[in-house]
Amino acid sequence: MSGVVVVVVAGVLGAFFPPSVGEVGARVHPPGAAGMAARLADVTAPFLDAPYLLSPLGEGQGVDPDPRLRFDAFDCTTFVETALALALARDLDDARVILDHIRYQGGVVDYVARRHFPEAEWIPQLTRSGLIVDVTRQIGGTAVTVETKKLDLGVWKKAHHEGLPQLPDERIPHGVFALDVWPLADAAAHADRIPAGTILHVVRLDFPNVPVRVSHQGLVLEKEGAKFIRHAADRLHHRVVDEPLDRFFSRMKQYERWPVAGVHLTLVQPAADWRQRLDLPP
pLDDT digits (tens, 9 = 90+) for 97-122: 999 999 999 999 999 999 999 999 99
Global confidence as pTM: 0.94
Give the model's pLDDT for residue 236. 87
Given pLDDT bands bounded at 50, 70 and 90, which one contains residue 12? very low
Instruction: Please measure the distance between the N-terminal and C-terminal CA atoms of the chain and give it in whole angstroms.
Output: 29
Per-residue pLDDT tens over the stretch 50-95: 999 999 999 999 999 999 999 999 999 999 999 999 999 999 999 9
Give the model's pLDDT for residue 195. 98
The domain in which residue 54 lies consists of 5-277
Please report whether residue 195 resides in a domain.
Answer: yes
Q: Alpha-carbon distance 64 to 112, whole Å?
A: 10
Q: How many domains is the chain partitioned into structurally?
A: 1
Q: Does 13 score more than 50 pLDDT?
A: no
Gyration radius of the chain over CA positions: 18
Please report whether residue 282 resides in a domain.
Answer: no
Please report whether residue 210 resides in a domain.
Answer: yes
CATH, residue 198: 2.30.260.10
Please report whether residue 100 resides in a domain.
Answer: yes
Please report whether residue 65 resides in a domain.
Answer: yes
Give the model's pLDDT for residue 4. 54
Give the model's pLDDT for residue 1. 45
Q: Alpha-carbon distance 201 to 117, whole Å?
A: 13
Per-residue pLDDT tens over the stretch 207-236: 988 999 999 999 999 999 999 999 999 988
Per-residue pLDDT tens over the stretch 140-169: 999 999 999 999 999 999 887 767 899 999
Give the model's pLDDT for residue 10. 45
Give the model's pLDDT for residue 219. 98
